[in-house]
Amino acid sequence: MKYALVNGERREPVTGAHGRCTACGGLTVAKCGQTKIHHWAHKSKLECDRWWENENEWHREWKNRFPVGWQEVVQRSDSGEFHRADVKTENGWVLEFQYSAIASEERLARIGFYEKLVWVVHGSRRKKDPAQFFGSLKAVKLVEDSLFRRACDVVGDKSSLVREWCNEKAPVFVDFGEPEVLWCLLPCPAERRPVVVEVLRERFVELLLARSALSAVVRS
């Protein structure tokens, strides 16, 4: 966790500090070593948010692009279930930054819980993924748009990333670390060929920061 409550206020961790979890209220302790990214950890081994994953610099770099008040927003359902969204915009869009592997059942559960969900997925966790992904793209057309640059069909099923995410019911933006672009795998039914759109990274962030409704981003 990047934030915990210290004297009732959200604070980042500093050496020796203690606080309380913003979701469950449990006691937390600041972890500020030299190996892992500075974070808050629960003092006991209780289960808080089962969807939470350990963070690295990639997560933090993405979070830090957005206002502090949008980061690590706790959302609760009428049943009492709660989860901590990586980023939630003022228009209710939730951004989940996914680095590690995630089961399809959990992906569907998150979509059902958050409803307005956008994934940003790390594309280079496995060494084979970038080559497989780009090797499966067939350019279709250039797109004259302030956000999109070109659309591509996916040919074959050699890309593990595409196989894992192609039937997602929310847009998936794949981040390969390219400074200018992301690659958006648009939602599509199982019977349709997946379509990937090259997206301007900074424009994507600008739309979110401008409180845009994201309709341009998620259209298929």
Query: Is pLDDT above 80 for 86?
Result: yes
Note whether 118 and 72 are same-domain residues. Answer: yes
Q: What band does 44 get if pLDDT is binned at 50, 70 and 90?
A: confident
Note whether 80 and 166 are same-domain residues. Answer: yes
Higher model confidence: residue 119 or residue 148? 119
Residue 138, domain extent: 50-218
Q: How many residues does the chain have?
A: 220
Note whether 134 and 157 are same-domain residues. Answer: yes
Asked whether the beta carbons of 176 and 123 are under 8 A apart, the reply is: yes
Note whether 40 and 56 are same-domain residues. Answer: no
Per-residue pLDDT, averaged over 57-76, amounts to 95
The region, left, alpha or beta by phi > 0 then psi within -120 to 50, assigned to residue 9 is beta
Higher model confidence: residue 212 or residue 53? 53
Note whether 114 and 63 are same-domain residues. Answer: yes
Note whether 73 and 8 are same-domain residues. Answer: no
Note whether 13 and 75 are same-domain residues. Answer: no
Single out the residue of 65, 68, 114, 108 nearest to residue 91, CA to CA: 114
The pLDDT value recorded for residue 220 is: 42
Q: In what order do the strands lie in the sheet with 4-6?
A: 9-11, 4-6, 18-20, 27-31, 39-42
Query: Is pLDDT above 60 for 213?
Result: no
Q: Residue 11 has what DSSP assignment?
A: E
Note whether 59 and 161 are same-domain residues. Answer: yes
Higher model confidence: residue 197 or residue 139? 197
What is the distance between the terminal CA atoms of the chain, rounded to a whole angstrom?
34
Higher model confidence: residue 122 or residue 47? 122
Note whether 110 and 132 are same-domain residues. Answer: yes
Note whether 30 and 3 are same-domain residues. Answer: yes
Note whether 38 and 142 are same-domain residues. Answer: no
Higher model confidence: residue 215 or residue 197? 197
Q: How many domains does the chain have?
A: 2
Note whether 163 and 85 are same-domain residues. Answer: yes
Q: What band does 161 get if pLDDT is binned at 50, 70 and 90?
A: very high
